[in-house]
């Protein structure tokens, strides 16, 4: 399908090419990739109906073992096409082909395999009732039903995997909405799920605007749960729309994650980790370490050396394996980054470094230069709100106590990093940070076995790990009494006195 340069929606086991065609251009160089069909409200409703029928008639009766087997086949199929996936991912998003080939696509495949092979999830467990010793109980982790999954534009393949694999494993069917900016690898995943043997409707993929597709998913009474990843503002709208039908909602939202560098760190390691923590994918990752908190005694040296590392990053066409700097995935986001930085500098922030890339990157692409700013005014928007771009805000701290105070003085709590050779101190600091994922002497590395999600305005619920699987379930308690006993005599006697 990729060779025909037209992608339709995956509905009911078929690729649906009916609808409004929209041309996709690559943010890497402005070249035309092809056309994608936007789903209408009616098409989304058809997809939801298809997933509901698949759940009731087929998937609900498919064993956990068989569901895992299908996920294993899907992982194998994607592996066979991994180069195609990597090429599409970079063309569609503007991220470097090296990142797609060596990180995003291989990691996504490994995460599908994790859910195909993990042994922590059980569909039920036995309990005893201490108040009623003659009875037993069974707690079942039942699927929610049809899950509506709404994914963002920055890491479309990984997000498609994270939204679908655990939900399918837990016994749900899924209607996935990838971003209309970057839908291609998610649509390919939908086709490959069919190729692997998933029943029609188990995974439907529909793309288009949030106002049409996202709103229809959030409001549908046939959908039992919505899993959303994106901005905090949009997440609140999704939660509000979903509340009318009292459906479960999980949200992975924005962040302004602190990367805390103590003077006793391995400075060479920390420099590379801080650079990786923000400038990977040009900062377009929810948990990017966009706030550098560096101890006063090493601030000047650290920023100077970090600037030299940024100077060494190679700009160019992201489709070249030697390029280090990713494009910005869409014009709207580029404009937002530009506005926030300009307003921050006008408001008193100091520009410490800006890489010259304009003469090197493709003229038709969307790029923002790797940048470092600083300000003692922690109330500036650029130091408080998510930029989602290659802009690092530097703040210095004196001691451990002040580092923790600055790190936690944020509306967000998605992730954080701590850099120190004193592991006990690093763990102590990590245990006080209000964030869902905290790396010590590392950043950005994600395990499918570890739950990820946010504190505060960064969201509710978790993805990945056992906790992420359980989010896609609802508990059912079955109370078993094998026969009349003394406890029944006492209980029933509360309303039917003996002798009446």
Where in the sequence numbering do the catalytic residues fall? 252, 286
Q: CA-based angle 399:402:406, to the nearest 5?
A: 140
361: nearest Cα among 314, 428, 405: 314
Pairing state between β 14-16 and 9-11 = antiparallel
Cα maximum dimension of the chain: 97
Q: Which residues of 163-181 are buried (b: 16+ CB within 10 A; e: fewer)?
A: bbbbbbbbbbbbbbbbbbb
In Å, how far are 107, 153, 468 from 448, measured between CA atoms? 9, 20, 9
DSSP secondary structure, 455-500, as one string: EETTEES-BSHHHHHHHTEEEEEEEEE-S--HHHHHHHTTTS-TT-
d(CA 121, CA 94): 36
Is residue 60 within 8 Å of residue 143, measured between CB atoms?
A: yes
d(CA 287, CA 152): 13
d(CA 472, CA 450): 16
Is residue 131 within 8 Å of residue 479, measured between CB atoms?
A: no
d(CA 419, CA 290): 15
The token pair at 271 is: 């420099």
d(CA 247, CA 222): 10
d(CA 239, CA 174): 18
d(CA 154, CA 330): 10
d(CA 365, CA 29): 4
Strand partners, 415: 437
């Amino acid at each position: 399908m990729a060779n025909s340069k037209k992608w339709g929606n995956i509905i009911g086991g078929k690729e649906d090419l009916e609808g409004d065609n929209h041309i996709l251009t690559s943010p890497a160089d402005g070249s035309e990739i092809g056309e994608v069909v936007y789903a209408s409200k009616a098409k989304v409703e058809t997809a939801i109906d298809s997933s509901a029928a698949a759940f009731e008639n087929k998937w609900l009766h498919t064993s956990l073992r068989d569901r895992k087997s299908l996920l294993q086949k899907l992982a194998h199929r994607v592996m066979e096409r991994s180069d195609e996936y990597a090429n599409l991912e970079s063309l569609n998003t503007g991220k470097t082909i090296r990142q797609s080939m060596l990180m995003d696509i291989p990691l996504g495949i490994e995460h599908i395999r994790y859910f195909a092979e993990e042994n922590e999830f059980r569909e039920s467990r036995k309990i005893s009732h201490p108040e009623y010793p003659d009875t037993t109980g069974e707690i079942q982790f039942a699927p929610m039903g049809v899950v509506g999954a709404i994914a963002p534009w920055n890491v479309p393949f990984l997000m498609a995997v994270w939204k679908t694999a655990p939900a399918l494993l837990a016994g749900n069917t899924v209607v996935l909405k990838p971003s209309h900016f970057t839908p291609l690898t998610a649509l390919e995943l939908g086709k490959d799920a069919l190729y692997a043997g998933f029943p029609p409707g188990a995974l439907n993929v529909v793309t288009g605007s949030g106002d049409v597709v996202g709103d229809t998913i959030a409001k549908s009474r046939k959908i039992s749960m919505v899993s959303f990843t994106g901005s905090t503002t949009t997440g609140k709208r999704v939660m509000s729309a979903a509340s009318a039908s009292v459906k479960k909602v999980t949200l992975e939202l924005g962040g302004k994650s602190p990367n805390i560098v103590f003077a006793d760190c391995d400075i060479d390691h920390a420099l590379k980790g801080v650079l990786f923590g923000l400038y990977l994918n040009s900062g377009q990752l929810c948990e990017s370490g966009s706030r550098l908190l560096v101890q006063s005694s090493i601030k000047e040296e650290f920023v100077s050396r970090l600037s030299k590392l940024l100077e060494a990053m190679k700009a160019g066409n992201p489709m070249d394996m030697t390029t280090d700097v990713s494009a910005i995935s869409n014009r709207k986001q580029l404009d937002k980054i530009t506005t926030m930085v300009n307003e921050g500098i006008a408001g008193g922030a100091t520009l410490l470094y800006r890489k010259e890339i304009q003469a090197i990157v493709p003229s038709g692409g969307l790029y923002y230069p790797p940048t470092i700013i600083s300000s003692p005014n922690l109330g500036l928007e650029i130091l408080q709100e998510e930029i989602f771009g290659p802009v690092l805000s530097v703040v210095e701290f004196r001691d451990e106590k002040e580092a923790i105070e600055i790190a936690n003085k944020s509306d967000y709590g998605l992730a954080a990093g701590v850099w120190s050779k004193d592991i006990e101190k690093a763990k102590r600091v990590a245990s006080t940070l209000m964030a869902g994922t905290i790396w010590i002497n590392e950043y950005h590395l994600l395990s499918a076995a570890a739950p990820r999600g946010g504190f505060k305005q960064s969201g509710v619920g978790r993805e990945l790990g056992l906790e992420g699987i359980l989010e896609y379930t609802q508990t059912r308690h079955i109370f078993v009494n094998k026969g009349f006993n003394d406890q029944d005599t006492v209980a029933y006697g509360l309303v039917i006195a003996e002798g009446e």
